[in-house]
């Protein structure tokens, strides 16, 4: 298949490389990132999109996505598919899908979970929003780049699933870290704490699969000096998207709000930028109640 790929950064680069390895013909455009081997470099986004059956975008945010959409939608052939895999606000996802459909294109939002390792290994999870026809068309490509693709409903629902998942993830990481720091102060051994919680009702993905304490439980960024992994500022981005969506939908999300505020404080005032989102644990270790 002829594929246009726009945004070949930490995630998009390896995703495009996996499409090439599966035999697809990929033309890429990025403002800065180098093209992975086998990807033909285009000089503009429109050039990458022209003549492609599917155009995939993997961009930093909704504003950039909207700007790129203005450029590529008019360049794409009628009936082609615009698949956005970035994590963006639900409103931008729906606006871009409407724009594409009005121009006679198919559209799908398919944000991912699984991070850079999942992108490299082709084991991402995709959560997709769009028509059946769009989902069916993109599914074989999602199956190359990932191990699971869930069709969540109409346009924007992929982003809705993503931000709900990451709101749970952010809040759970915080409470897992504060529990480790509390256990320390109570004189409870971390390994004992892990052994109990990981097999009791407090278990979670953050405790069991991404243990934020070095040397305990699953190997994770904590074992690598809290180098990301999933950076704190990206978690903050997703929590802000969740709160923006909650406000627009008039949903009461006090835990999500608290998590967003704490990550904002951590990233913007406490040097958390550039650390993994599990670096909340060393943050709590240093603090008392005051
Ligand atoms: P990144 O910054 O590494 O890559 C984004 C790329 O987009 C960059 O190479 C940048 O040069 C390019 N770009 C920016 N504006 C552009 C434009 N106008 N035209 C063409 N290229 C442009 O970010 P990433 O980590 O690859 O993340 C991409 C998306 O995936 C984000 O929405 C992020 O939230 C989401 N995501 C990231 C992770 C992760 O672990 N990194 C996990 C899940 C989802």
Instruction: Convert the pLDDT of each residue in 246-281 to its tens digit.
Output: 999 999 999 999 999 999 999 999 999 999 999 999
Catalytic annotation on 162? yes
**What are 114-148's pLDDT values in tens digits?**
888 899 999 999 999 999 999 999 999 999 999 99
Torsion 171-173-175-181 (CA) sign: negative
Contact partners, residue 190, CB within 8 Å, separation at least 6: 180, 183, 184, 213, 216
Q: How far apart are CA 27 and CA 34, in angstroms?
A: 12
Residue 41 pairs with which residues in a beta bridge?
A: 28
Interface predicted TM-score (ipTM) of this complex, two decimals: 0.99
CATH of domain 160-286: 1.10.1040.10
Give the Cα separation of 91 and 62 in Å (integer): 8
Which atom of ligand 1 is least distant from the CA of 230?
A: 40
Measured in Å, residue 57 CA sits from the centre of ligand 1 at 9
Global pTM exceeds 0.95: no
The boundaries of every CATH 1.10.1040.10 domain in the chain are 160-286
* Active-site entry in 41, 137, 148, 162: 162
Distances (CA, A) of 68 to 101, 160, 161, 188: 16, 21, 23, 52
CATH architecture of the domain 2-154 equals: 3-Layer(aba) Sandwich (3.40)
CA distance 56 to 213: 37
């Amino acid at each position: 298949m002829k594929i246009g790929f726009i945004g070949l950064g930490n995630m998009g680069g390896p995703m495009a490389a996996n499409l090439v390895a599966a035999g697809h013909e990929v033309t890429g455009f990025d403002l800065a990132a180098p093209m992975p081997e086998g990807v033909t470099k285009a000089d503009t986004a429109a050039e990458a999109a022209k003549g492609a059956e599917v155009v995939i975008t993997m961009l930093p945010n909704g504003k950039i996505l909207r700007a790129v959409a203005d450029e590529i939608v008019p360049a794409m052939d009628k009936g082609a598919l615009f698949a956005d895999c970035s994590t963006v606000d639900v409103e931008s996802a729906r606006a871009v899908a409407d724009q594409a459909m009005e121009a006679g294109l198919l559209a799908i939002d398919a944000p991912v979970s699984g991070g850079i390792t999942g992108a490299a290994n082709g084991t991402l999870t995709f959560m997709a929003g769009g028509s059946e026809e769009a989902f069916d068309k993109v599914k074989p490509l999602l199956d190359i780049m990932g191990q699971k693709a869930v069709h969540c409903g109409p346009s924007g629902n992929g982003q809705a699933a993503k931000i709900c998942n990451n709101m749970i993830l952010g809040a759970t990481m915080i409470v897992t870290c504060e529990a480790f720091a509390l256990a320390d102060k109570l004189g409870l051994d971390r390994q004992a704490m892990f052994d109990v919680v990981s097999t009791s009702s407090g278990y979670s993905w953050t405790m069991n699969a991404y243990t934020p304490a070095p040397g305990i439980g699953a190997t994770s960024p904590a074992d690598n000096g809290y180098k990301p992994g999933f950076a704190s500022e990206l978690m903050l981005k997703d929590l802000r998207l969740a709160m923006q969506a909650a406000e627009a939908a008039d949903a009461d999300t006090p835990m999500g709000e608290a998590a967003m505020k704490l990550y904002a404080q951590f990233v913007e005032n406490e040097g958390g930028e550039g650390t993994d989102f599990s670096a909340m644990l060393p943050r709590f270790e240093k603090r008392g109640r005051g």
